[in-house]
Amino acid sequence: MLIQIVDRPDEPDLEAGEPFAINAPGAIVRQDRSAMKPRAATPATKPLRLGHVLVFTPDVATSIRFFEQALGMGLADRSGDIIAFMCCSRASDHHVVAFAKSPGVGFHHASFQVRNPDEVGRGGALLAAATVGGDWGFGRHTIGSNFFHYIQDPWGSWFEYYSDMDYISDHSAWTATDYHPDDSLANWGPGVPPDFVHNYEVDTPLTEQEASRARSLAAII
């Protein structure tokens, strides 16, 4: 897998939107107003930026070492040799690059930030209704904590809408966790599509191991 390094100025901060206010027991922060507008008055969901990509690798551990030693990035969290999440050394989303184990290299998904969980759910549902492929969501990850909805493209890979990602201000003060495989994909959500972790860029059919893992995770979630 070729990596192109580009030296460029920092991106400007995103413009802050209206806070996502949640009324919780003992903490009523939204008073005397409705949280939801009618459908006709609700703006369309528009991605704000590309947040991260996940790529397939035959060797997760070696990929981690390369991104640490050659690119100066840090390991945020992982789940054994199945999946790993890399962040920048400072002022970083929980992950900007992630790796998933596969027989070969390949592209799994690109993830685009939207403003709040409502936009994840609304935008993901609209795209899922229009796509000819599969989808997975609405749900929430354990690793990174973000809400998600994935849409499959015509080539078998995916793109994701997300919001509410963990933030790592200084990787030197962060402790990476090695999560149990039960938490490697989601904390909650609908059943995992059987080919969600299948690498279509490798000329192999969906393995029984992949299908069995998807069934097991669907039962957990």
How far is residue 56's CA from residue 42's CA, in Å, rounded to a whole number?
Answer: 37
- Contact between 19 and 27 (Cβ < 8 Å): no
Cα-to-chain-centroid distance, residue 188: 14
pTM: 0.88
Considering only 40-44, 83-87, 175-179, which range has the smallest mean pLDDT?
Answer: 40-44
Rounded mean pLDDT of 100-116?
96
- Predicted pLDDT of residue 221: 43
Rounded mean pLDDT of 27-49?
92
Residues with Cβ < 8 Å from 180, sequence gap 6 or more? 79
- Contact between 60 and 102 (Cβ < 8 Å): no
Residue spans of the domains in the chain: they are: 48-220
Asked whether residue 131 carries a pLDDT value surpassing 90, the answer given is: no
- Predicted pLDDT of residue 116: 96
Considering only 60-64, 114-118, 127-131, which range has the smallest mean pLDDT?
Answer: 127-131
Rounded mean pLDDT of 181-194?
94
User: Where does the pLDDT of residue 214 fall: very low under 50, low under 70, confident under 90, or very high at 90 and above?
Assistant: low
**What Å distances lie between residue 181 and 92, 151, 175, 184, CA to CA?**
24, 23, 18, 5
Q: Which of 32-36, 37-41, 93-97, 200-204 has the highest mean pLDDT?
A: 93-97
- Predicted pLDDT of residue 25: 95
Rounded mean pLDDT of 123-129?
92
Q: What average pLDDT is seen over the chain? A: 91
In CATH terms, the fold of domain 48-220 is 2,3-Dihydroxybiphenyl 1,2-Dioxygenase; domain 1 (3.10.180)
User: Where does the pLDDT of residue 220 fall: very low under 50, low under 70, confident under 90, or very high at 90 and above?
Assistant: very low
How far is residue 149's CA from residue 174's CA, in Å, rounded to a whole number?
Answer: 27
SS3 letters across 81-107:
CCEEEEECCEEEECCCEEEEECCCCEE
